[in-house]
Amino acid sequence: MAVSTTPLLPPSAASSSQTTKPDRATVNSIDDAIETYVGSAGAAAQLLPASLVAFAWVFDAQQTFINVFADAMPPWHCTAPSCFAAGAPASPCSLITPSSWSWSLPRHTSTVSSWSLQCASPAILALPSSSFFAGCLAGNFLLSSLADTRLGRKNALVLSSLVMSVSAALTAASPSLVPYAALRFICGFGRATVGTSALVLSTELVSRRWRDRVSMISFFCFTLGFLSLPAIAYVARAWSWRTLYLFTAAPSLAYTAVIYFVIKESPRWLLVRGRRSEAIETIKTMTFGLSVANSSFTDIPSVEFDGGCPFGARCKHHSVSFERLINLGR
């Protein structure tokens, strides 16, 4: 009895099914395609724009810790014999006669003395800083996906920095505690994605060789902002607390304008969005006119962010920034 060797599929059908299926092993990744051109640029051409983007961490740190100085309890001293008889009270609220003590510095040096909050409850005193971090929490939930979807890395950084800077400047005009806390909430809302947007954009503007160094520069800038704030507060110690907000908001606004007009969008994000022509022009600018052929990117699969895609797929796409943060050293 002869054994049948007839294939389950006709040869023509089998060959057509094999040719229509792409060979994923031969398809280059976006990183590999960009690495050839961005990596050919010099260290200065890569590190200078990335360092400028990383400088956003300076203003991030200043707005995070500014409440420590603006809402500090100013020093005070006794002005009546009854105050000395009480045996060095720890707080002016423990004195029976309010006229028996006085602030050692002008009233406008702190929000506590400006609005007479020295006897307020701890919950009231902590309201501005609590509002700021509540805004950070809300901003992380609502703004974290914009850098991967609609806005892009650069525009997300510009938007976050602009909201943070404008709200910080408006905080200087707060007439009372409630508007002050509300503006601190808005400032925290904008600040929530400044650091992550800056870190992702700065690492995507350089080749793999410099990513670890750029990430170190980012955290160095955060330390610089953390250390510069006490110096600014010391210089303005006899001035109004409103001046401290203006001193930190004005440079941040100027920085936002520089980022908007000088820094280019991430070529990786442009390719992922299918905007190849813009990505190629960006790479040409980054490499000072190096010739980049369109054929270099024609084999790269484009991952489009469609508003009608399933929720699970959107969540997978939104994790691109977080994967970039995890794989900085690779």
Domain assignments of the chain as residue spans, ordered by start: 43-71+123-259
What string of pLDDT tens digits covers the 330 residues of the chain? 555 555 444 444 444 444 333 333 333 566 666 676 666 666 777 788 899 999 999 999 999 999 999 998 888 877 776 666 555 566 677 665 667 778 888 888 899 989 988 888 889 999 999 999 999 999 998 888 887 888 888 999 999 999 999 999 999 999 999 999 999 999 999 999 999 999 999 988 887 888 889 899 999 999 999 999 999 999 988 899 999 999 999 999 999 999 999 998 888 888 888 888 887 777 777 766 554 544 455 555 444 444 434 333 444 444 444 444 444 444
Q: Burial level of 238, CB count in 10 A (0-12/13-18/19+)?
A: exposed
Instruction: Give the pair of three-digit tokens for residue 169.
Output: 């400047």
Q: Is the pTM of this model over 0.85?
A: no
- Whether the Cβ atoms of residue 147 and residue 318 lie closer than 8 Å to each other: no
- Provide the greatest CA pair distance for the chain: 123
User: What CATH number was assigned to the domain covering residues 43-71+123-259?
Assistant: 1.20.1250.20
Q: Burial level of 244, CB count in 10 A (0-12/13-18/19+)?
A: buried
Alpha helix segments (H runs only) across 236-310:
241-262, 267-272, 276-286
